[in-house]
Amino acid sequence: MYVSVTFLGLQRAKAKSDQIQIRFSKKTRVADVLAYIKKHHPELPFPEDAILVAVNNKISSMERILKNKDNVTFLPFLGGG
């Protein structure tokens, strides 16, 4: 099973790529993808308390089970005042 991860903003700049594909076994959750990214790309910013994720362009939970060819995007935190 392959999952695509799309990088936006600072993630894209630090990864020097718009997107990567990762091979996983079945029964992979969004949280598993995040753990993989943190392990293999520690330079990417993923604040623990402010992670918003989309799967196939729809907001999703970290517990969602992924399917082959799903696209995961960890939306960058935007702050303002």
Q: What is the DSSP letter of 28?
A: -
| DSSP state string for 9-54 | HHHHHHHTSSEEEEE--SS-BHHHHHHHHHHH-TTS---TT--EEE
Q: What percent of the chain has pLDDT over 90?
A: 57
Q: Between vectors from CA 18 to CA 14 and to CA 19, what angle results, nearest 5°?
A: 110
Full-model pTM: 0.86
For the stretch 20-54, pLDDT in tens is: 999 998 789 999 999 999 899 888 877 766 778 99
Domain chopping of the chain, boundaries: 2-75
Indicate the fold that domain 2-75 takes in CATH: Ubiquitin-like (UB roll) (3.10.20)
Instruction: List, in sequence order, every residue forming a beta bridge with 65; answer none if it has no partner.
Output: 29
